[in-house]
Structure 1
Amino acid sequence: MPALASVLSRIDTDLDASLERLFALLRIPSISTDPAYRKNCREAAEWLVKDLESMGFSASVRDTKGHPMVVAHHDGATPDAPHVLFYGHYDVQPVDPLDLWQDDPFAPAVKNGAGRKIITGRGAADDKGQLMTFVEACRAWKAETGSLPVKVTILFEGEEESGSPSLKPFLEANADELKADFAMVCDTGMWDAETPAISTALRGLVGDEIKVKAANRDLHSGLYGGAAANPIHILARVLADIHDETGRVTIPGFYDGVEETPADVLATWEKLGRGADTFLSDIGLSIPAGEKGRSVLELTWARPTAEVNGISGGYEGEGFKTVIASEASAKVSFRLVHRQDPVKIRAAFREFVKARIPADCSVSFTEHGSSPAIHLPFDSPLLQKAKAALSDEWPNEAVMIAMGGSIPIVGDFQKMLGMDSLLVGFGLPDDRVHSPNEKYEMSSFHGGQRSWARILDAIAR
């Protein structure tokens, strides 16, 4: 603890200098999706390598078919120290529409916002400000103790905002070098400005497209209506059958691998105060539509779903056309939790559909990707250490939350490198990520540095 106290003091003393370093990185317009900024993406990678080298990391720019990766290594204080892989991304979203920005998106500044100091500029929250919180924590440890409490490998990507096309090939080619005891990902957020959060679960995803074909051409509904099969009717019945009256999915085997969330975890979520009224009111709704008897946080964080994302068939132009379409299609996605198997879910869904197609009609499917859910045990020692460290730093105790969406890199780390991930970030819902006037709270930048310093100390111990 004496070492940690001096490290935290160093972070406080060095805050202005750390802010200038962040500003230098934010000034680089590393927009990965626009080829016009290719040189700027490399510039950002080279800046990070130079900065990491300045504090003793062995760091390098690694070329890919797209934008380069940054890989860096640093030994721990002892040979048997835990080994962590820290992931972030240095690329940013485009700034369009530029006229909605109050200031130049690549001229970062500190401003007063609603009585709080905020850092403005593209990438401030997503993800340059976030990744630099970890870098600055490492810098403070080195400055105060001459070493890091754990062995650290860093992977900074330059294509996260453009689909990460080079990431999987890079992980495959460098698996031995990148594998660690576990990964740490900072591309997440806090529950609120005074309550840190650890994301313990991400839902998986299965996407499928159905196409039902009936007659060999579109038909006149007056001549054939009532006699010829209507693929829109067939498709509508199939989709309606997916859920029963209680909101449960009826596909056989769908709930295999789904676990009940522990009662103490549900009680913690209940205390967060986000009920159906507050959760749905912002979108003009009030009645939860999922499984009956479950809270909205449980529905979105810990339960699987089946959703229809689009339906097409028949005449969809202006005016009216009395036609029986020859085919109809729908796009369906499933959010998965716990140990649900994406392959089995897809197969079960297709059998469910086929069983409802008339003998003189046909159905075909188009796959639209899949990934398993990611779930860390609630009693994981890693989570407990991180929770205690975060709770020591912030006014409120850290909360264990889940995420309804997916972060592909977390699944890649688990599947390709055999590593679980600790998801800790310091963004806030109003940071305007991907939008004009992006910002990052000064408290997030400062508190994030101190938090990572505490987490590294806790892991080492």
Structure 2
Amino acid sequence: MSDVLADLPTFLNDSEPWFRSALRTLVEQPTVSPGMEDDAAILAGVEVARGVIADSGAEVEVVPSGGTPALIARFAHPQPKARVVIYNHYDVQPADASKWAQDDPFRFEVREDAEREFLYLGRGTTDDKGPALCGLRAASWVAKHDLPIEIICLWETEEEIGSPNLGDVLEARKELLSGDCVIVSDTIWPSAAQPAISTGLRGGMFATARLRTGNKETHSGLTGGGARNPLRELAALAAAIERAGFWRLDVREPSAEEIESYGRSGFDIDYFRAAHDLEKLATDVPIEMMLNLWARPTFEVHGLAGGYQGKGVKSTVPPEAELKFSFRLVPDQTPERLWERLSAFVHNFNPDVELTRLGSFVPYRGAIEGPVHAAIVHGMREGFGKQPALVREGGSIGAVPMMAQLLGVPVHFLPLSLPEHGYHAPNERFDWKQAKGGIAAFVHTFAKLVG
């Protein structure tokens, strides 16, 4: 196998122009998630991506669903020893140009960088078009060198809205996609200094609480103290949920081995603060922060709408208000049990509140043993020059537990993004150092699996 890998360094060095061109092509397609903007951009972008994939030597199929389609690329082999699915998503978050340094978030830009070689700027560069191209480029190398492995690249177009129609695609192509494993490249290292492999994801549940107490806005000097204030009551509800214990139940604590690995992850409080442009943190104790981010559930308030929102103060009592919030879940919590407890708690606290469940994902705990995990560890070590740490991911990917359940295969992770890359944030970017290491990591992973 070492002879087969002999030309890999040259291949990697020669791949930057291809990577830059392909990423430019994909980023300049404004494939904002369905329902957030006109879906025509997604459909047009799918056709552009089909061409990029076909040029890499794969058989490409656009698979319809109840929503927008998915792309499936197949690098076949007549006698494969393994079949691996690489999952990425092609849809992106909306981008408000007024908050970006670039005039247009969908105009791709490249800047030289002493540490990262090249920075690639634009919406979707790190989430998730750059990592997707790393897997695609590695698959093309495997096909060129006739390694006995079949690689399937699955690019979804609805991940950012919870993958509501991915099940259609999985069922329609179940035989093809039910291989030895799925490898997801849509997660983040805690630090640029230390490679890391995600071993689990938090789940999530999203909800709103609405309260209507009148039919019109009233003067607080005339009605204050007599009228119920829905903003105040929903704020009190949020504070009560935060203090409550029901959403902290059913938690599987991380093992001593996991916690020890967290300590080797390279997580740094100051780096975390700077990467996310934060001024105040919940704790300054690194291990507490890691546990809070990866292994403990959370309750977050995202918005409290209602009343006067202009400058200064308008002394009125609003007739209605809405609280927008979510929970992040960890193994062994379930959205169903949490919803039952939340509904009972809200009803007992304020029976006039109308509670609406908007969506949910179950948590996922991946395998940390077996040949696929060992191959990914090997690939990351070869690609980035360090033994990777094992961590959990604080975010949620609804597609992951769905693929595990419907395909009946283990789902593993090969992360390539960094905190400073700006997932979902303005000024999103990816870089060539991560991309080059990522392509190498995928190639070494595949070679290890069949070697």
Report TM bin, short chain: 0.7 to 0.9
The 1-side partners of 2:17 and 2:408 are apart by: 37
The 1-side partners of 2:385 and 2:439 are apart by: 16
Residues 45-101 of structure 1: CA deviation (Å, up to 9, x unaligned): 133124233xxxx4334455776533233456856x333211224566788749944
Contact 1:202 1:405 in 2 (8 A): yes
Contact 1:7 1:140 in 2 (8 A): no
Q: 1:265 to 1:93 in 2, by over 3 A?
A: closer
Structure 1 residues 3-402: aligned runs within 5 Å: 3=1, 5-28=2-25, 29-33=28-32, 35=40, 38-53=43-58, 58-63=59-64, 68-75=69-76, 78=79, 81-90=81-90, 97=97, 100-101=101-102, 112-118=112-118, 120=120, 122=122, 124-144=125-145, 146-148=146-148, 150-158=149-157, 167-214=166-213, 230-244=229-243, 249-251=244-246, 254-272=247-265, 274=267, 279-280=272-273, 282-288=277-283, 295-313=288-306, 320=313, 323-357=316-350, 362-379=352-369, 382-402=372-392
Deviation at 1:242, TM superposition (A): 2.2
- The two structures have a TM-score, normalised by structure 2, of 0.81
The 1-side partners of 2:230 and 2:105 are apart by: 53
Query: Which SS does the other structure have where 2:258 is aligned?
Result: helix
**Does residue 398 of structure 2 align to residue 408 of structure 1?**
yes
Residues 342-376 of structure 1: CA deviation (Å, up to 9, x unaligned): 0110111110111123xxx6222122211111122
Q: Which runs of 5+ in 1 are unaligned?
A: none
Comparing 273-282 with 424-433, greater Cα deviation is found at 273-282
Q: 1:294 to 1:328 in 2, by over 3 A?
A: farther
Contact 2:381 2:388 in 1 (8 A): yes
Comparing 6-15 with 333-342, greater Cα deviation is found at 6-15
Q: Which has the larger radius of gyration?
A: 1
The 1-side partners of 2:431 and 2:15 are apart by: 14
The 1-side partners of 2:383 and 2:130 are apart by: 18
The 2-side partners of 1:273 and 1:43 are apart by: 38
Q: 1:231 to 1:94 in 2, by over 3 A?
A: closer
Matched AA of 1:188 = T
Q: 1:42 to 1:392 in 2, by over 3 A?
A: closer
The 2-side partners of 1:363 and 1:103 are apart by: 41
Deviation at 1:191, TM superposition (A): 4.0
Question: Residue 442 of structure 2 aligns with which residue?
Answer: 452
Query: Which SS does the other structure have where 1:298 is aligned?
Result: helix
The 1-side partners of 2:218 and 2:45 are apart by: 57
The 1-side partners of 2:308 and 2:430 are apart by: 48
Contact 1:206 1:334 in 2 (8 A): yes
Matched AA of 1:418 = G
Comparing 135-144 with 93-102, greater Cα deviation is found at 93-102
Deviation at 1:193, TM superposition (A): 3.9
The 2-side partners of 1:213 and 1:26 are apart by: 48
Contact 1:208 1:365 in 2 (8 A): yes
Deviation at 1:224, TM superposition (A): 5.9
Contact 2:208 2:357 in 1 (8 A): yes
Question: Residue 442 of structure 1 aligns with which residue?
Answer: 432
Contact 1:26 1:106 in 2 (8 A): no
The 2-side partners of 1:314 and 1:95 are apart by: 27
Q: 1:84 to 1:101 in 2, by over 3 A?
A: same
Deviation at 1:194, TM superposition (A): 4.6
- The two structures have a TM-score, normalised by structure 1, of 0.79
The 1-side partners of 2:190 and 2:107 are apart by: 28
Q: 1:133 to 1:9 in 2, by over 3 A?
A: farther
The 2-side partners of 1:124 and 1:243 are apart by: 35
Query: Which SS does the other structure have where 2:73 is aligned?
Result: strand
The 2-side partners of 1:219 and 1:94 are apart by: 36
> RMSD of aligned C-alpha atoms?
3.8
Residues 222-273 of structure 1: CA deviation (Å, up to 9, x unaligned): 66655665545544443332244xxxx422xx34431111123223323445
The 2-side partners of 1:355 and 1:95 are apart by: 40
Query: Which SS does the other structure have where 1:367 is aligned?
Result: strand
The 2-side partners of 1:102 and 1:315 are apart by: 32
Deviation at 1:274, TM superposition (A): 3.7
Percent identity reads 29
Q: How many pairs are equivalent?
A: 439
The 1-side partners of 2:290 and 2:300 are apart by: 17
Query: Which SS does the other structure have where 1:188 is aligned?
Result: coil
Query: Which SS does the other structure have where 1:52 is aligned?
Result: coil
Contact 1:31 1:41 in 2 (8 A): no
Deviation at 1:159, TM superposition (A): 5.4
Question: Residue 35 of structure 2 aligns with which residue?
Answer: none
Q: Which runs of 5+ in 2 are unaligned?
A: 33-37
Deviation at 1:216, TM superposition (A): 7.0
The 1-side partners of 2:120 and 2:311 are apart by: 45
Deviation at 1:279, TM superposition (A): 4.0
